[in-house]
Amino acid sequence: MVEVVKRIGLMGGTFNPIHNGHLVTAEEARVQFALDEVIFIPSGKPPHKSERKIADAHHRAMMTLLATVTNPYFHVSQVEIERPGYSYTYDTVSYFQELYQGQAEIYFITGADAILEIIAWKNVEQLFEKCCFIAATRPGFDLSAIRSSDLPQSAKDRIFYMEIPALAISSTDVRRRIREGRPIKYLMPSAVETYIYKNKLYLK
């Protein structure tokens, strides 16, 4: 019997909140890299951030569900939210490798700014053996910092880059707009916008 290897995109992010830049990134990665599906994974407890500044995980997961529901290739996993302790990408990728019993090529998709710090991530060498990375850049992003980083060449060869003009939208800007009473319409699906206002998120 021929074993079918799936190509799986894991879309990692805090999604605080999710916006159209994230959705365009995931769809672009899906098509460019012929992925069978993209699984959005809102971070539970990011190792590099103070919890105070981040909306509750259940709100971020709900917004991610609302944002992705209309795309048949998009799914949401709560694996990082349900796992106690810090959300390490190594643990997440290992989880999906086991889930697919080694029959999946895994592409971890995230922002290039996050990839810049990857050298400090847990088990980074083994992580590069388990998956490739797709780093989404905002227009004008300078890749030289990643290219000149201390990562071994074999790891650098497993990072692919995608410039995403829609990443001119950022979660930071969305939160600032809400605090300042400025519009967020059209920066995210309307269901996410409604959810934010209904739950009074990001007002301070």
Residues lying near ligand NAP in the complex (CB under 6 A) = 11-14, 22, 25, 43, 46-48, 87-90, 109-111, 113-114, 121-122, 136, 167, 170-172
Burial class (CB in 10 A: 0-12, 13-18, 19+), 74: buried
**Nearer of residues 10 and 104 to ligand NAP, judged by Cβ:** 10
Using a CB cutoff of 8 Å and minimum separation of 24, what contacts does 67-70 make? 67/18, 67/22, 67/23, 67/188, 67/189, 67/191, 67/192, 68/23, 68/26, 68/40, 69/191, 70/189
**Nearer of residues 13 and 189 to ligand NAP, judged by Cβ:** 13
Of 122, 67, 132, nearest to 97 (Cα)?
132
Min dist. Cβ of residue 1 to ligand NAP (A)? 35
Min dist. Cβ of residue 48 to ligand NAP (A)? 5
**Nearer of residues 22 and 59 to ligand NAP, judged by Cβ:** 22
Min dist. Cβ of residue 3 to ligand NAP (A)? 29
**Nearer of residues 3 and 52 to ligand NAP, judged by Cβ:** 52
Six-digit token pair at 159?
């990072």
**Nearer of residues 5 and 186 to ligand NAP, judged by Cβ:** 186
Distance CA 15, CA 42 (A): 6
Min dist. Cβ of residue 4 to ligand NAP (A)? 26
**Nearer of residues 100 and 121 to ligand NAP, judged by Cβ:** 121
Which residue minimizes CB distance to ligand NAP?
111
Helix, strand or coil for residue 138? coil
Distance CA 166, CA 137 (A): 10
**Residue pointed to by tokens 């999906």:** 96
Min dist. Cβ of residue 80 to ligand NAP (A)? 7
Min dist. Cβ of residue 185 to ligand NAP (A)? 17
Question: Do 128 and 29 form a contact (C-beta atoms < 8 A)?
Answer: no
Of 203, 153, 138, nearest to 176 (Cα)?
203
